[in-house]
Amino acid sequence: MDDQPRSLSASHSANPAKALRFRTVGFDLDGTLLETAPDIAAALNHALKIAGRPALSYDEVRPMIGGGAKRLLARALAGPEGGRVPDDVLDPLYTELLDHYRRNIAVETRPYNGLLTALDQLADAGIAVGVATNKLESLARELLAQLGLADRFACVIGGDTLGTDRAKPEPDMLFELERQCGGGPTAFVGDSIYDTRAAQAAGHPCVAVSFGYRQGPVEELGADRIIDHYDDLIGALATL
């Protein structure tokens, strides 16, 4: 009858996340939770214009994202030849980039397809979710708030939260995420080498998304599992 309690297996079938061994799942932000590259590229090109440099295309900017805005700007200013950009050049342009980005942080940024359903499944299973991003914490919180996603995450750890010397690929942010989410077995979801190296150093199984921001093939990141769509996340976590 309809009013009879469902069996445990039936409950897990309705929401497979309930069978996961993890109590916490952490996520990177840019290129993992959200497609942020259009708004980041606009802010970067604003700074490059002030510097008298040519604009970069969306496809050029995408693989450069992941290490934080200041590193992104330094790489763009250094160009193909590389080299160090003097602080007296970099710092004022970094301020311009951040100011532009704060004013235009969610113009084109959107969650990836299937993300909200996956987050709903994790929440229904009682699994805490948090964000560990090399983006400044204030910007990450503002972005999530503007998109109506802030309440979905138990914590947001930014690249400056613990100090920039402890940002990914160091494991410290993931340890802090695990602590703030209540501990227990933890997995991490990301899109770049910063994410997989941090997860490996923290001892957390890692799922890489193939649609994010990186320079080489996703298979070279060293993740434990790779997914092409968020519809596959719960199944991937179930095998870890």
Active site residues per annotation: 28
CA distances from 55 to 38, 64, 227 (A): 13, 14, 32
Task: Report residue 84 as tokens.
Answer: 């160090």
Report the half-sphere exposure of 66 (CA within 13 A, side-chain side).
21
Collapsed DSSP state (helix, strand, coil) of residue 210: coil
Give buried/exposed letters for 157-183 (b at 16+ CB in 10 A, else e): bbbbbbeeebbbbbbbbbbbbbebbee
Q: Are 44 and 38 in contact (CB under 8 A)?
A: no
Task: Report residue 130 as tokens.
Answer: 């948090």
Beta strands in 120-219 (DSSP E): 128-132, 155-157, 186-190, 206-209
